[in-house]
Amino acid sequence: MIMKTLAAVFIVTFLTFGTVAAQKISQWREDNRTGVSAEKGLLRMWPQNGPSLLWSISKLPRGYSSVTFGDNRIFLTGMDGQNDVLVALDTTGNLKWQTPFGRVWSKASPESRCTPTVEGNRVYVSSGFGDLACIDASSGKIIWSLKASEIYKGTYGEWGIAESLLIDGQKLYFSPGGPETMTIALDKTNGKLIWKSPSINDAPAYVSPILVERGGKKLIINISLHYLYAVDASGGAIVWKVDHTKAIDDKASVAVWPDAPLIKCVTPLYKDGKIYMTGGYNHGGALFELSNDGKTAKIVWTDSVLDVHHGGVVLVNSCIYGANWLSNNDGNWCCIDWNTGRKMYEEHWKCKGSVIAADGMLYIYDEKSGFAGLVKPNPSKFELVSSFRVTQGTGPYWSHPVINHGKLYLRHGDYLAAYSIKAK
């Protein structure tokens, strides 16, 4: 009888632990940070004036973060002047609470950029000065917080910190950069240090890193001002680094980014051992290939067409889609081949902006005038199916679109709107 009781307790405990361990993480550019949503059954064409508006909210704390989800809440970050603030809305757009969690960036473009990372009933955020916090999703109470960049001697670019935090099992990753370490792993339950990587003596960029598996190991792939680099997720060792300001494409015989631009903020893409990185200001991009054991990386090709500013890229059917940089106020929509880097098309529509994908379609958001577009991913041409304009809100349209449970979320500074895009 005792053995049966113990067995029952073990089974319940195992199932409970399994449920917790398997909780979905809602994060920056959603599914594995690819920008490609798993949503299905969406509209293939929008009504003339756009999809049906379900609700909207204005006068939010200003920011450029995307929205994430958990505990029947919608989360985003903004600023109240002195602090970065985590905001929680219910599923119909009503404000539930907002919690200041860290120092707002004090120089250029101080608006919040960290997209909250949500797991279960906890939300993880970083501020413009690299202050981290774990916050209860139901109440808005801070569970733990620390001034991570300050503690670990991190450095700042002209626009502060714009990293969205990455969860891996029990670990939470952050990238202070600077003279002491490039990446730290914290215990997500209490913020205590698990490990810190060595430094490669470089400043962080504005990239939210990705986690990949290669050669039986988990690697954190990240970009600093001068390097594409990999950190061993098990213990923090720097596995490899490639100086992308000097690395040479053997075929083109040119350096990838010869003058190390100030802004690098595009999360890299990963597939089958290959990593794609890009940046604006006429610097193009490059594809790198990892060795089978994941211990080295080499350039496969470089491209001068798709130099994405900060709108992200998606990989759909062996093609990379995004918008390039013509100037700070303009850009074209592009498609290049994943395997070769060959330009498939480059066409102008409104302005450069952000892109995500779902259910076989592209969703784009022009950063200058707020036009949202539904695009068929056709390598032969830019095939716009539908579009409409978001007119409310303030500042540039820098927040990336998000799709969740048949709803399209579009943010514009202090304004957020939810649209129904579920097919009937």
Q: Where is 21: in which H helix or E strand?
A: helix 2-21
In the predicted model, what is the mean pLDDT of residues 190-211?
A: 96
Q: What is the pLDDT of residue 283?
A: 84
- Side chain identity at 330, as an amino acid letter? D
CA distance 228 to 243: 7
Q: Where is 212: in which H helix or E strand?
A: strand 210-214
Beta carbons within 8 Å of 21's beta carbon, 6+ residues apart: 169
Question: Strand 407-412 vs strand 343-347: parallel, antiparallel, or unpaired?
Answer: unpaired
Residue 7 binned pLDDT confidence (cut-offs 50, 70, 90): very low
Beta carbons within 8 Å of 18's beta carbon, 6+ residues apart: none
Residue 338 binned pLDDT confidence (cut-offs 50, 70, 90): very high
Chain centroid to Cα 316, Å, comes to 17
Q: What is the pLDDT of residue 251?
A: 52
Q: State yes or no: pLDDT of 117 exceeds 80.
A: yes
Minimum mean pLDDT among 7-21, 172-186, 388-402: which range? 7-21
Q: State yes or no: pLDDT of 21 exceeds 90.
A: no
Q: What is the pLDDT of residue 253?
A: 47
291 against 244, higher pLDDT: 291
Q: What is the pLDDT of residue 261?
A: 58
In the predicted model, what is the mean pLDDT of residues 301-316?
A: 95
In the predicted model, what is the mean pLDDT of residues 354-365?
A: 98
CA distance 164 to 115: 5
What's the pLDDT tens digit per position in 245-255? 776 555 544 55
What's the pLDDT tens digit per position in 64-114? 999 999 999 999 999 998 999 999 999 999 999 999 999 999 998 899 999
CA distance 263 to 6: 57
Strand partners, 308: 324
CA distance 420 to 59: 22
For 242, other C-beta atoms within 10 Å of its C-beta total 21
| Architecture of the domain spanning 25-31+59-206 | Beta Barrel (2.40)
Q: What is the pLDDT of residue 257?
A: 59
Q: Where is 4: in which H helix or E strand?
A: helix 2-21
Beta carbons within 8 Å of 196's beta carbon, 6+ residues apart: 152, 180, 181, 183, 184, 185, 236
Q: State yes or no: pLDDT of 402 exceeds 90.
A: yes
DSSP secondary structure of 177-190: -BSS-S-EEEETTT
Q: Are 365 and 374 in contact (CB under 8 A)?
A: no
Mean pLDDT for all residues in the chain: 92
Q: Are 315 and 269 in contact (CB under 8 A)?
A: yes
Is residue 213 left, alpha or beta, with left meaning phi > 0 and alpha meaning psi from -120 to 50? beta
CA distance 280 to 326: 8
Q: State yes or no: pLDDT of 116 exceeds 60.
A: yes
Residue 127 to residues 9, 27, 52, 180, Cα–Cα distance (Å): 42, 16, 34, 20
Share of the chain above pLDDT 70, in %: 91
CA distance 271 to 275: 7
DSSP secondary structure of 112-168: B-PPPEEETTEEEEE-TT-EEEEEETTT--EEEEEEHHHHTT---BTTB--PPPEEE
Q: Where are the domains of the chain?
A: 25-31+59-206
Question: Strand 343-347 vs strand 383-389: parallel, antiparallel, or unpaired?
Answer: unpaired
